[in-house]
Structure 1
Amino acid sequence: MIPNVETISIVYSILGGLIIIYGLCSLFVKERLYLSEAIVAVTIGIIFGPVCANFINVGDWGGEEVELSRQFARLAIGIQVMAAGVYLPKAYLRTEFRSMMVMLIPVMIVMWLVSGLCVWAMVPGVNYLESLVIAACFTPTDPILANSIVQGKFAEKRVPVNVRNLILAESGANDGLGFPFLYLAIYLLQMPIGGAIGKWAYYIMAYDILFSVVIGFIVGYVARKLLKFAEERKLIDKESFLVFAVALSLFIMGTVSLIGSDDLLACFIAGNSFTWDDWFRLETHNKSQISEVLDLLLNLSIFVYIGATMPWADFQNIDLQLTVWRLVVLAILVLLLRRLPIVVALYKIVPAIRTWREALFCGFFGPIGVGALYYYTEAIMNFEVDGPHAHTRAVLPPIIYFMILSSVIVHGITIPLFHIGTFASRTLTRTSISSSSNNNGNVFRLPRFNRQGQDTGENYSHGNLSEKENYLSPLPGDFTLTKPETAASPPPPRQTAITIVVPDQTTTVNNPEPFNSEKKPDTKHDNTPPPSHSTLHYNSSDDDDDIDEYI
């Protein structure tokens, strides 16, 4: 059933309005608030969906919601994994082959098994094999959400390039590698072990996976040669050149799907093969990217769709034995245990991960998104409504949607929270350093000396130094902050100040030249004792801007 014209017009209006409003403040949202478009789009979908305004109700469009979700998700993922392959550096799959093998084989297997255990523990009425079917849907990391993590101001400043490339490459590859995990569990449910393993080996691993890799590599290689030929002979215009990768992804999705192989994996491999020599990536660098515009349009659309189709009623459904608290605990367990422990445990054999901090980042940022929606629709097509696994079929939508919602929220607000925490930490550090008094209420100030080095009983402060007096000698590697034990005059009003004494190079007001310890001392003042003071050492090698504020 095709929705009526009025319904389609409402969808167009909402989607267009979202893109316009979001576009007007997108730089502020991304670079200041550090929010991805996914969390904004899901929120808009929820607001205009059946649970709130009810302007977008996919249930009224007919009985093809599952197939619509499948094709929509497939289109968005296919274009995104192609973009991931194109974005990666020259011959990335060869240079980081070992890293990719570790992330795609042992890490994915553990992610699948651990997620299955979590589902089995928290969802009543499903056995472990059925739990593995559910877990296979959200085992792959999502390339769309991963792309929002590895790009932008925050990622460029704080996430190393090697980590960004690894997350992007893994998310692009494992979205196509979810089929072996999904269909191994489905075949084991539907047939004896021997037949299940045999069918899985020749149909899934050989025809679906290996064949798609070969097709993707050949198509990408031929496309690169053809594009170079057309570019060298001035046969292709700028617009067609820039949109070539998107057209290539559509061609591969359609062709590979017709022959029954894995079109998503073929798209990713084709993207890598297409930019194997880095020519296309460098040619399109810092140029108008039509593909990026299409990516944004698709990404916003698919997450608005996810927000609008969220099955809120099934999150608390007695017939399905599901409750909100079970889903919340399941989401916490999956986000903490599904990926983080195994990545931290194996990071030393992953060349692309150099430190345990990078391992923590890679382990935590394994988002669940559109890929889970796609695999849920793939799984549900293999179970009948009234069949022996009807309960598994019924609990699939609420579990998968809740996992997507949890990942969008958690991974969407983690970077803003990290930024707020970093800002708060800096503020506390500045406050601590510039504190005007210690525990006894004494102000840390520098005693004022006369020309002969005698204590005048006065103190320098940031507020009473004139422009001429505000002069300090070059700072050595280690200097001291001093606090007089006695004062000859009443203490000045409390105010913020940091003062510095340079050993053997004390600067005077009238003579800015530092004292030289090798010069003959002034005999007139030989018996004058130096001012009594206690010292607090501060290491000037630390990268701290706070001292500069007072200098």
Structure 2
Amino acid sequence: MQQLYLTMAISALTVVLLGLTSGPLQKLPVSRPLLALCVGIAAGPTGAGLLRPDEWGAPHAILKEAARLTLAISVMGVALRVPIRDLLELRRPLLILLGPGLLLMWAVSSGLAWLAFGLAPLLAMSLGAALTPTDPVVAASIVTGHVAEAELPQKSRSILSAESGANDGLAYLLVLLPLLMMTEGSEAGLTQVITHVIPVDLLLAVGIGATLGGLTGVALRVGDRRGWVEHSSLLSLSVALALLAVAGAHAVGSDGILASFAAGVAFNTLVDREAELEDENVQEAVTKLFTLPVFVLTGALLPWNAWLDRGWTLLVFALAVLVLRRPLAILLLVPFLKISRRDAVFFGWFGPVGVAAIYYALHAEETLHDPRIWTMASAVVAVSVLLHGVTASPGVMLYGRRAKGARPE
């Protein structure tokens, strides 16, 4: 019990300190997720030893559920941050990124896992699927804040945000496909994907989320007209809606992350955006309050000894995933996306691996009882948080200057 409260105290203190220094931090080449990860490392077994995961009982199960709730709240924030008109105007690039783009990133990640470690094809596909989605939590540190608002065009921010929010739920299908084929057999697993995963886990999740978000949006509008709702209640309402979507989807065996995103989109469609959302930076508040503790937990649970046993191959694999997985997919899709070389470089690099990979990797490890999945996935997450954390501010400012310079006078 003492470890529980100590972990809560360290996580809360991290949120407070990073919140109090958020202004200066935006000017430095470090991100909040990177700093939170460093806090977990410093306080964990390899550092001061304050956090001792071996005394938590089931540390991976705790981290998995923390990651699930973090993702649900984060994708809700993404859905609220992106204007609905942007989703409609940018539907072509978003559909390409969420369709062929997602499949290409899965293929590259899986191929690298197979080449680097000689994993069985289905196991490599499972690991590759966990590493495929771009992370909304780390991406939020790139597209939010004063620097991003000043330097990044709204179109670029919307594309990165919407993609990172939607592909976390869609990746559920990619993760379950190889897992079911390994545990149930190839034919039975594929049949289960067609008859259960797609209609129940995905489509039903969208229906549940959209219904909950729509009902909440209608209720909010009615409450506003009758003077029942205070303006300051929006943040708590959105967080509660995310948790309700996760719980509702989980109750029927659906994907809670996708349900949360659908609920956010439906809610965003029905509320008065000018009056309710733009005056209150929901995503910024959510990032500071709810998403940083999961990186503290991750820092304390990083498998250093297992990394060392893998040697340099693991580091090369992690770097290869970040350098090839998304940049290669974007490069192949440039003719269809119809974007400039500058945009292709920016979108190609800033597709971080984070909480989504943590959740899916731990889910795969729990299903297969294979610790190698967490060892490899956690290395990619750590390297991504480090590299994307130190390149976010300089990259955003460089992209912003070039984008402004390219605009016609």
Write the distance in 2 (CA, Å) between the matches of 1:166 and 1:416. 18
Alignment of 1:193-204 (within 5 A): 193-204=186-197
1:367 counterpart letter in structure 2? P
Distance 1:97-1:199 versus aligned 2 partners, 3 A rule = same
Query: What is the 5 A alignment of 1:363-402?
Result: 363-384=348-369, 393-402=370-379
In structure 1, what residue type is equivalent to 2:385? V
2:328 matched residue in structure 1: 341
Greater shift in the superposed pair: 93-102 or 197-206: 93-102
Alignment partner of 1:23 out of 13, 19, 41: 19
| Alpha-carbon distance between aligned partners in 2 of 1:214 and 1:98, rounded to the nearest angstrom | 23
Secondary structure of 1:35's counterpart equals: coil
Residues 36 and 412 in structure 1, CA contact (< 8 A), matched pair in contact too:
yes
Offset at 1:221? Answer: 1.6
- CA drift of 1:291 comes to 6.7
2-side partners of 1:412 and 1:128: how far apart?
32
What letter corresponds to residue 188 of structure 2 in structure 1?
G
Q: Is the 8 A contact 1:212 1:261 kept in 2?
A: yes
1:314 counterpart = 2:299: no
Aligned residue for 2:10?
A: 14
> Aligned pair 1:187/2:180, yes or no?
yes
Q: Could you tell me which of 347, 354, 358 is aligned with 1:362?
A: 347
Please report how far the alpha carbon of residue 92 of structure 1 lies from its aligned counterpart in structure 2 after TM superposition. Answer: 4.1
Output the CA distance in 1 between the equivalents of 2:283 and 2:84.
20
Give 3-state SS (helix, strand or coil) of 1:338's partner.
helix
d(CA) in 1 for partners of 2:397 and 2:277? 35
Superposed, 1:141-220 pairs within 5 Å as: 141-220=134-213
Match of 1:255 in 2: 248
Q: Is the 8 A contact 1:84 1:169 kept in 2?
A: yes
Write the distance in 2 (CA, Å) between the matches of 1:416 and 1:163.
15
Corresponding residue of 1:225: 218
Name the CA distance, whole Å, in 2 between partners of 1:69 and 1:380. 12
Output the CA distance in 2 between the equivalents of 1:542 and 1:372: 35
CA contact (8 A) 1:49 1:57 kept: yes
SS of equivalent residue, structure 1 residue 200: helix
Matches of 1:292 and 1:247, distance apart in 2: 17
Alignment-derived partner of residue 407 in structure 1: 384
1:41 matched to 2:26? The reply is: no
Q: Which has the higher helix share?
A: 2
Taking the aligned partners of 1:166 and 1:198, their CA distance within structure 2 comes to 34
Aligned counterparts, 1:293-308, within 5 A: 293-308=285-300
Distance 1:241 1:115 in 2: 39
1:315 deviates by 0.4
Question: How far apart are the structure 1 equivalents of 2:351 and 2:396?
Answer: 19
Q: Structure 1 vs Structure 2: percent identity of aligned residues?
A: 29
Summarize the Cα distance change of 1:151–1:286 in structure 2 as closer, same or farther, 3 Å threshold.
Answer: same
Work out the CA distance in 2 between the residues paired with 1:421 and 1:224.
Answer: 39
Partners of 2:40 and 2:297 within 8 A in 1:
yes
Q: Does the alignment pair 1:118 with 2:103?
A: no
User: In the alignment, which of 66, 74, 77 is matched to residue 68 of structure 2?
Assistant: 74
> Following the alignment from structure 2 to structure 1, what is the Cα–Cα distance between the partners of residues 396 and 365?
40
Deviation at 1:332, TM superposition (A): 1.5
Cα pair distance change 1:542/1:253, threshold 3 Å: closer
Amino acid at match of 1:164: R
Following superposition, the deviation at residue 200 of structure 1 comes to: 0.9
Identify unmatched segments of 5+ residues in structure 2.
none
Give 1:275 deviation, angstroms.
Answer: 1.1
Return the alpha-carbon distance in structure 2 between the equivalents of residues 45 and 34 of structure 1. 19
Q: CA deviation at 1:34?
A: 4.2
- Greater relative contact order: 1 or 2 (C-alpha under 8 angstroms, separation 6 or more)? 2
Contact 2:78 2:283 in 1 (8 A): no
Q: 1:417 offset after TM fit, Å?
A: 4.9
Superposed counterparts of 1:471-486, under 5 Å: none
Structure 1 or 2, whichever has the larger Rg, is 1
Secondary structure of 1:175's aligned partner: helix
Residues 155-192 of structure 1: CA deviation (Å, up to 9, x unaligned) = 22332211110110011001111111111111222344
What runs of 5+ residues in structure 1 fail to find an aligned partner? 385-392, 426-540, 544-551
Distance 1:159 1:259, change over 3 A: same
CA contact 1:89–1:278 (8 Å) conserved in 2? no
Distance 1:88 1:416, change over 3 A: closer
Contact 2:221 2:271 in 1 (8 A): no
Deviation string, structure 1 residues 448-504 (Cα, Å, up to 9, x no partner): xxxxxxxxxxxxxxxxxxxxxxxxxxxxxxxxxxxxxxxxxxxxxxxxxxxxxxxxx
User: Is this contact kept in 2: 1:369–1:404, CA < 8 A?
Assistant: yes
Q: CA deviation at 1:413?
A: 0.8
* Aligned pairs (5 A) from 1:126-141: 126-141=119-134
Secondary structure of 1:276's match?
helix
The separation in 1 between residues aligned to 2:406 and 2:93, in whole angstroms, is 34
Aligned to 1:455: none
Q: Could you say which residue in structure 1 is the equivalent of 2:84?
A: 90
CA displacement, residues 262-300 of structure 1 (integer Å, 9 cap, x when unaligned): 11101111111111156146423224x577434312222
Counterpart check, 1:104 vs 2:101: no
| Structure 2 SS opposite 1:357 | helix
Distance 1:50 1:227, change over 3 A: same
Larger relative strand fraction: 1
Aligned length: 403
**More displaced, 180-189 or 86-95?**
86-95
1:57 Cα deviation after fit: 1.2
Q: Which of 57, 60, 65 is matched with 2:55 structurally?
A: 60
Conserved? CA contact 2:31–2:392, under 8 Å: no
Structure 1 residues 223 and 119, CA gap change in structure 2 (3 angstroms): same
Report the alpha carbon displacement of residue 93 of structure 1 after superposing the two structures with TM. Answer: 3.8
Hey, what's the Cα distance between the residues in 2 that align with 1:66 and 1:281? 41
State the distance in 2 between where 1:421 and 1:148 align. Answer: 16
SS at structure 1 position matched to 2:367: coil
Which deviations, in whole Å up to 9, do the C-alpha atoms of 1:319-361 show, x marking residues without a partner? xxx22x11111012111111112212213323xx632211211
How far apart in 1 are the matches of 2:145 and 2:341? Answer: 23
What residue number does 1:528 align with? none
Amino acid corresponding to residue 88 of structure 1 in structure 2: V
Separation in 2 of the partners of 1:418 and 1:206? Answer: 40
